[in-house]
């Protein structure tokens, strides 16, 4: 397991709550080889969390607000795309870059993988750059309930399709909403379009897992940037060069630990041959959207050939990885891509090791917590892992259900029992909930001449909490 917020030892739970609730936008791109080798089609896809957008009640054609089961709330979104030649707007130091004749295949591959992590947000249009193409996208996000408008689990998705010659480009995207005067978000992402006529190359496309690779199937794009969902298997698709038809390939995945930009200490986490039944010849790809999801569809009688592989991500920790497609005949890497296994709904405490250890005081005494929190980061992390490993109900998987449940209870206590006087996990209700979980039954009493009383039942046991103020404070009375 990786702790996403590593450096700050003085982090607190409320600080982590603020960090974890920042809404996100995810971008990705896919290069599709074309019969016309002069230009290739590039799909730039995006996924926007509902919480990032400004929703309003849906409005009928005559301007009246109305509620319908499928669109109670709406958010109108505009995204403008402009693509510029070159990538010098970003962090790459040209003075330190090797000249093309000095670069090895590995140098180029490392650069392409690194570039997928490169971007700058909330910036201005790059100056003195040659614009290659521009286009726009308009869409509407819909939500049935107010809670869905604030959800991190609901998204608006879409894509752009542009044709580009081989080379490097800077894609400038600007998101705005008609009801907001200023642009809400802007970003630049590097795009690399390979020259498929000169290079024995390919690119990896991340997909949701599919049961069977078939020419008639829709292939759902994962559309999660450089991320995959922790604990969930996924699929990959890659084009097979024309001059390598019939070649056997294998998938190899390296664990890069917590730093995706450092591949020097990579360790092999998985390897598997790609079966012949998962290769389809003479097919191309086209994109479409359906039910707010981006799909790829195989098109027959095209030049490229595509291969599919299923990746057992449920076996992997939420670390960074590099996935490689290797030619079994010469052991050369055809293509590679770095990804992060991301625990989307990770309990807040697990964002930081120190907070994770501190929160064990509900089930451990003070001395044991102090001992676990002593030593270097590596030593503390090891002790923390060993503590939960001994209590893992499914030791053969990376996901520890007991640990996740414990820290989810802390999140629940924060969200439901916090008052102006105390954080929810330090209240009497919060402490009982963290140790025992949700009650089997709840009774509420509102005496005429006394404070409100809430009773939680756990089998034959019961816990009564009495209101001590008019601001949600309750204390355990019996």
259 pLDDT band, cuts 50/70/90, is low
pTM of the model: 0.76
Residues paired with residue 192 on neighbouring β-strands, in sequence order: 168
User: Under 8 Å CB-to-CB from 460, ≥6 apart: which residues?
Assistant: none
Give the pLDDT mean for 28-57. Answer: 88
Q: pLDDT value at position 275? A: 83
Residues paired with residue 205 on neighbouring β-strands, in sequence order: 237
Give the pLDDT mean for 138-154. Answer: 90
Cβ–Cβ under 8 Å, residues 233 and 251: no
Strand (E) or helix (H) holding 180: none
**3-state secondary structure at position 451:** coil
Q: Biggest alpha carbon distance in the chain?
A: 87
Q: Which residue, chain included where needed, has tokens 């894509």? A: 159
In terms of pLDDT, which residue wins out, 267 or 102? Answer: 267
Q: What is the DSSP string of 96-113?
A: TSPPGGG--HHHHHHHHH
Q: pLDDT value at position 124? A: 55
Residues paired with residue 306 on neighbouring β-strands, in sequence order: 239, 280
CATH class of 200-346: mainly beta
Give the pLDDT mean for 160-181. Answer: 89
Residues paired with residue 218 on neighbouring β-strands, in sequence order: 297
Q: Is the pLDDT of residue 7 over 50?
A: no
Phi, psi of 287 (to 5 degrees): -110, 155
Q: pLDDT value at position 303? A: 67
Distance CA 410, CA 454 (A): 20
User: Under 8 Å CB-to-CB from 152, ≥6 apart: which residues?
Assistant: 21, 23, 24, 49, 50, 51, 344, 345
* Helix, strand, coil % in the chain, rounded to nearest 5: 20, 35, 40
Q: Is the pLDDT of residue 366 over 50?
A: yes
Give the pLDDT mean for 407-435. Answer: 95
Q: pLDDT value at position 126? A: 53
Q: pLDDT value at position 64? A: 54
pLDDT tens figures, 73-132: 999 999 999 999 986 444 434 444 444 444 444 455 454 544 444 455 555 555 677 899
Distance CA 88, CA 269 (A): 35
142 pLDDT band, cuts 50/70/90, is very high
Angle, CA 240 vertex, CA 236 and CA 244 arms, to 5°: 145
Q: Is the pLDDT of residue 134 over 90?
A: yes
183 pLDDT band, cuts 50/70/90, is low
Characterise 375 by phi-psi region: left (phi > 0), alpha (psi -120 to 50), beta (else): left
Q: Are strands 267-273 and 294-300 parallel, antiparallel or unpaired?
A: unpaired
Residue intervals in the chain for CATH 2.60.40.2840? 200-346
Q: pLDDT value at position 395? A: 87
pLDDT tens figures, 374-397: 999 889 989 999 999 999 998 888
Distance CA 41, CA 30 (A): 8
pLDDT tens figures, 307-327: 999 999 988 888 889 999 999
Of the ranges 139-148, 270-279, 428-437, the best mean pLDDT one? 428-437
Distance CA 1, CA 258 (A): 9
């Amino acid at each position: 397991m990786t702790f996403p917020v590593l450096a700050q030892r003085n982090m607190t739970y409320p600080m982590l709550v603020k960090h974890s609730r920042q809404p996100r936008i995810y971008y990705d791109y896919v290069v599709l080889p074309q019969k016309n080798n002069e230009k290739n089609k590039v799909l730039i896809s995006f996924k926007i969390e509902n919480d990032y957008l400004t929703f309003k009640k849906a409005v009928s054609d005559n301007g009246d607000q109305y509620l319908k089961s499928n669109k109670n709330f709406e958010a109108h979104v505009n995204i403008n795309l402009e693509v510029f030649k070159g990538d010098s707007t970003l962090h790459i130091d040209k003075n330190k870059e090797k000249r093309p004749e000095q670069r090895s295949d590995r140098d180029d591959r490392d650069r392409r993988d690194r570039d997928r992590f490169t971007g700058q947000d909330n910036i201005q249009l790059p100056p003195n750059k040659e614009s290659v193409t521009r286009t726009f996208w308009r869409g509407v996000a819909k939500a049935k309930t107010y809670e869905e408008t604030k959800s991190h689990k609901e998204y608006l998705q879409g894509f752009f399709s542009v044709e580009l010659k081989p080379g490097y480009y800077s894609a400038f995207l600007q998101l705005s909403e008609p009801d907001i005067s200023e642009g809400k978000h802007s970003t630049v992402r590097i795009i690399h379009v390979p020259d498929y006529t000169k290079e024995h190359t390919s690119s990896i496309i991340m997909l949701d897992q599919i049961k069977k690779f078939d020419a008639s199937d829709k292939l759902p794009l994962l559309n999660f940037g450089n991320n995959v969902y922790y604990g969930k298997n996924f699929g990959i698709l890659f084009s097979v060069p024309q001059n390598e038809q019939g070649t056997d390939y294998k998938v190899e995945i390296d664990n890069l630990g917590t730093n995706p930009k450092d591949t020097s200490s990579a360790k092999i986490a998985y390897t598997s041959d790609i079966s012949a039944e998962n290769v389809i010849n003479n097919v191309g790809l086209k994109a479409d959207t359906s039910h707010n999801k981006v799909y790829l569809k195989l098109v027959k009688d095209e030049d490229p050939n595509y291969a599919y592989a299923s990746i057992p991500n449920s076996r992997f920790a939420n670390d960074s990885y590099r996935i490689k497609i290797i030619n079994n005949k010469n052991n050369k890497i055809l293509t590679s891509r770095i990804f992060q296994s991301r625990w989307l709904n990770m309990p807040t405490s697990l964002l930081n090791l120190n907070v994770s250890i501190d929160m064990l005081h509900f089930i451990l005494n003070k001395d044991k917590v102090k001992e676990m929190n002593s030593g270097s980061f590596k030593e503390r992390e090891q002790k923390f892992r060993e503590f939960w490993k001994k209590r893992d109900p499914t030791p053969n998987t990376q996901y520890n259900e007991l640990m996740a449940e414990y820290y989810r209870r802390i999140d629940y206590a924060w969200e439901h029992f916090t008052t102006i006087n105390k954080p929810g996990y330090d209240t009497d209700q919060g402490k009982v909930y963290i140790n025992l979980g949700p009650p089997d039954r709840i009774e509420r009493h509102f005496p005429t001449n006394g404070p409100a009383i809430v009773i939680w039942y756990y089998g034959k046991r019961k816990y009564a909490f009495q209101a001590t103020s008019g601001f949600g404070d309750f204390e355990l009375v019996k």
